[in-house]
Structure 1
Amino acid sequence: ISGVLAFGGVGGIAIGFAAKDLLANFFGGFIIHLDRPFKVGDWIRSPDRNIEGTVEQIGWRLTTIRTFDQRPLYVPNSTFTTIAVENPSRMHNRRIYETIGIRYADVHSMKKIVDEIREMLKNHDEIDTDQTLIVNFLTFNASSLDIMVYTFTKTVVWVRFHEVKEEILLKISDIIESYGAEVAFPTRTLHLPDGVRLANEDRHKTQDSRSRESSETSESSGGNKSGGSPTHGESQSGESE
């Protein structure tokens, strides 16, 4: 009897833990249906967990998410009561935030470039001018003068957003080029004192001179070896005469 009671106690504990998780998942499903943080078809992601994709089904125990590489992801509903969830599908706008650098040599054109980029964005059909729109000379960077471009598109569709962003970046490139300016890239300028430069030139001249002398010496030595000294037979003939 004691063995049966012991087994029953262990089994009861196991069932209790299982029931706890099951109830937590049902409670999570109830909260999802009550608060509606997302619905079927929404694109959601969690900064706390590696969860991102499109919601396919919301059950009472778990939610099915289709990831962007088309894998099904089954998430227990209790998880959503303990993590933060983003719902990009409910965005009203998408943001373009870029830092574009031009050369230091183009500093005199900076004001005109910034003004024209700002005007282009204000008149662009796909830019929401009711949202924050910033185009300003941002900072003196190591190899560039940086321009900040901060604006929002009207579309929230992922593919269309990137089409609009591409169009805007190309127009910015055209504006920069129209003023004879160029987009900067990392560069380094090395300034040498005149003494160092002259010393290097003298060293190269000395090396060239030594190379020529060595070459001439080699040629002279080769000529002497080929016909400069008499043969043994010629020496004996001279002595007999």
Structure 2
Amino acid sequence: MNISVTLNNPAWTLIYILIVIIATSFLTRLIAFLMNKMKRFHNNEAAIYLTRDIINYIIYFIALMIILQFFGINLAGTLLSLGIAGIALSFAAKDLISNLFSGITLIIGKSIQVGDTIEINNKKGIVERITLRSTIISDDSGVKKIIPNSTLTNYPYLHFKTPEKYRVDIQTGLSLNIDVEEFEKYIVKKILEYDGILKNPKPSVYSKGITFEETQLKVSFWVKEFNSKDKYKLTITNEIRKFTKMGEKDE
């Protein structure tokens, strides 16, 4: 394929390409921002991610076509060539295509949703995210596992009853000069101030060991909504930092 710059000034060609790239980056970030806002009004996160991915793919495709035009590439001929090569490429990308269609099936059919607990091929965890290509689950230890969507549509899996509550664990360390009991009273009181955090089971602080520099602790509490886990994890982490700073000032 012969590529020739259509503009007389290559510098202007570069500028136009940079503008397209910047515009593409801005649009994809804007879409991500709007999709995050939609989470407040839409419970189906998987559908939101699907919409975001499809829009992003369209934006990337349009940007690519515009950039190719700057180099005088015949779009019709290019698409025709892709069509001819599509048969060969389809075999090479069989797994990718299978995962994409399986992802759409899972999201539209709602057979699995964010917050559900599933087990397949000895992998068990809570569904954290469903994308076009894969489903991400997190086990009790917080380890994330990626499962191809085609696996979920082609093989049997266990679908457990949706939990009524979800545990949030925060690993932290306190200076040896800070009283652990005082910290526990403070952080449990702060946790119970938030309406989105369950009062029962009561929040807990567990000792994970002591090093030469700090006392290692785990703060645990429960929330009712799976989508609120990250929000309250960040909130309580900030409360822990506030207490730590107060303890450092008192030293």
User: Is TM-score (shorter-chain normalized) higher than 0.5?
Assistant: no
TM-score, normalization by structure 2: 0.40
TM-score, normalization by structure 1: 0.42
Structure of higher CA gyration radius: 1
